[in-house]
């Protein structure tokens, strides 16, 4: 337990050390999540467009 507290306090420089490391990994993880979400959104949109086209292309069969 004391070891953990010592580790987290970084010799009293916790604010600087964790601000730097925290921002770094928050941004990198955020970028990865944004990329995954935008991929889903794009796939959905492309899928919707393709569906619309499918409904229009074969003439006669559909309303």
Partner 1 sequence: MKINWFKYAAPTAFYPLAGRLVPVLAVAAAALVLFALYWGFFETPERLGGTNPQKEYYRIIFIHVPAAWMSMWLYLVLAAWSAVGLVFNTRLSFMMTNAVAPTGAIFTFLALWTGAFWGRPSWGTYWDWDPRLTSELILFFLYIGFMALHSAIDDSRRADRAAALLAIVGLVMLPIIYWSINCPDPNNCAALHQRSSLTDIESNILTAMLVMTLGFWLYSFAAAFARLRNIILLREQDSAWVRTMVDAAGAGGPANAGGGDALDANRRGVSA
Binding site for partner 1 (CB under 8 A): 7, 10-13, 15-17, 19-21, 23-24, 27-28, 31-32, 35-36, 38-40, 42-51, 53-55, 58, 61-62
CB of 27 to partner 1, least distance (A): 5
Sign for the CA dihedral angle at 18, 21, 27, 29 comes to: negative
CB of 14 to partner 1, least distance (A): 9
Count of beta carbons in the 10 Å neighbourhood of residue 55: 11
Query: What is the dihedral angle through the alpha carbons of 30, 33, 35, 38, rounded to the nearest 10 degrees?
Result: -120
Which one, 1 or 35, has the nearer CB to partner 1? Answer: 35
């Amino acid at each position: 337990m004391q070891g953990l507290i010592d580790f987290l306090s970084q010799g009293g420089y916790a604010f600087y050390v964790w601000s730097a490391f925290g921002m770094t990994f928050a941004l990198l993880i955020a970028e990865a999540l944004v990329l995954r979400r935008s991929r889903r959104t794009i796939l959905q949109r492309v899928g919707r467009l393709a569906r619309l086209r499918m409904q229009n292309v074969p003439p006669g069969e559909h309303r």
